[in-house]
Amino acid sequence: MTTAFLFPGQASQLVGMGKDLSEAYPVARQLYEEADDTIGFSLSTICFDGPMEELSKTSVTQPAVFLHSVVCARLLSEQGVEPSVVAGHSLGEYSALVAAGVLDFGAALQLVHRRGELMQAAGSQRPGAMAAILGVDDEQIVGLCEADEGVVVAANFNAPGQIVISGEADAVARVGVAANEAGAKRVVDLLVSGAFHSALMVPAADELATQLQQASFSAPRASVVTNVSATAETDPQRLQQLLIEQMTAPVRWTDSVKAVVGTGVTGAYEVGPGAVLKGLVRRIDRALEVRSMGTAQELAELGPEVTGA
């Protein structure tokens, strides 16, 4: 059976995430301990016990979600489940690259931690906003952004009829009003620390690019569908370059899921906390069945027909 691993991004965090995995599986506990040592603070304590205010800081959220996802992928591997194709939503692309053997866990964790710090700092230096717009065609929202005089772009193409815009707060607000006038079902302001995947992230992107260029990228064991190209990539140097571009480019999740389906996979796991991607995939292509895999109970429910046992 060919299988895809889909990895969630920021906003999937919740207090208590990973605690059951750490208690049930020695390899999970080992990875949490390794992560604490690598980044120099007790990430595990914040994941397991909160508070939510601390867990929701971009500099903490990103390594927390990444770590949880990598733990789940490692546990799936131990039970004989390996992906033929991987994809991750924004931050989740780092988890995908580790699962595909492109990046080493420790190196990727340091990159993710730094990415979170830089994005949080960029949000403080050039405050911005993001908003989800529901019920309007993607092309129409792109046109509204292009017509605005400020800095505002379509940042996440999450599913048909669900797009996220990002940029200067005033510009995001204006496009939100215009979207309502164009018949949007809802415009929802997002609680984020900056205007991710927009030009306001250029300072963060430039600094992170230096570290990414110094990182070692290996040939993937599975095809990697990237946010920027929305196609299956196998060249390590191209994967490195696309990860650099990802900071300011839109997340093309709708096209990414279509590309995953195009590889011929018969099912997928959402590997990490929550079930956000499962819901998005249902709106993109119902033929791809997605199973959540982020808790000890979900891992325990893997049957012989899945694991090959």
CATH number for the domain harbouring residue 182 = 3.30.70.250
List pLDDT tens digits, range 94-133.
999 999 999 999 999 999 999 999 999 999 999 999 999 9
Domain that holds residue 163: 128-189
Does residue 262 share a domain with residue 156? no
* Per-residue pLDDT at 266: 84
Q: Which of these, 125, 133, 249, lies nearest to 189 by C-alpha position?
A: 133
* Per-residue pLDDT at 305: 38
| Pair 58, 121: CB distance under 8 Å | no
Per-residue pLDDT for 304 more than 70?
no
Q: Sorting pLDDT into bands at 50, 70 and 90, what band is 302? A: confident
Does residue 118 share a domain with residue 35? yes
- Annotation marks residue 113 as catalytic: no
Asked whether residue 96 is domain-assigned, the answer is yes
Residue with tokens 């120099």: 40
* Per-residue pLDDT at 303: 60
Does residue 115 share a domain with residue 227? yes
Does residue 212 share a domain with residue 101? yes
* Per-residue pLDDT at 2: 83
Point out the domain boundary residue: 163, 189, 215. 189
Three-state SS for 214-233 is HCCCCCCCCEEECCCCCCEE
Per-residue pLDDT for 308 more than 70?
no
Asked whether residue 194 is domain-assigned, the answer is no
Asked whether residue 47 is domain-assigned, the answer is yes
Does residue 226 share a domain with residue 107? yes
Does residue 285 share a domain with residue 205? yes
Q: Which amino acid is at 237?
A: Q
Q: Sorting pLDDT into bands at 50, 70 and 90, what band is 1? A: low
List pLDDT tens digits, range 177-234.
999 999 999 999 998 999 999 999 999 999 999 999 999 999 999 999 999 999 999 9
> Among the options 56, 90, 198, 292, which is catalytic?
90
Does residue 166 share a domain with residue 28? no
Report the alpha-carbon distance of residue 43 to residue 161 in Å, rounded: 36
Scored b (16 or more CB within 10 A) or e, 227-252 reads: bbbbebbeebeebbbbbbebbbbbbb
* Per-residue pLDDT at 300: 92
* Per-residue pLDDT at 306: 41
Q: Which of these, 200, 193, 133, 136, lies nearest to 164 by C-alpha position?
A: 133
- Mean pLDDT throughout 24-36? 97
Does residue 177 share a domain with residue 139? yes
- Annotation marks residue 42 as catalytic: no
Does residue 78 share a domain with residue 150? no
* Per-residue pLDDT at 271: 98
pTM: 0.96
List pLDDT tens digits, range 41-62.
999 999 999 999 999 999 999 9
> Among the options 68, 89, 113, 197, which is catalytic?
197
Does residue 159 share a domain with residue 132? yes
List pLDDT tens digits, range 228-273.
999 999 999 999 999 999 999 999 999 999 999 999 998 999 999 9
Does residue 101 share a domain with residue 42? yes
Total of domains in the chain: 2
Asked whether residue 165 is domain-assigned, the answer is yes
CATH number for the domain harbouring residue 275 = 3.40.366.10
Asked whether residue 296 is domain-assigned, the answer is yes
Does residue 236 share a domain with residue 102? yes
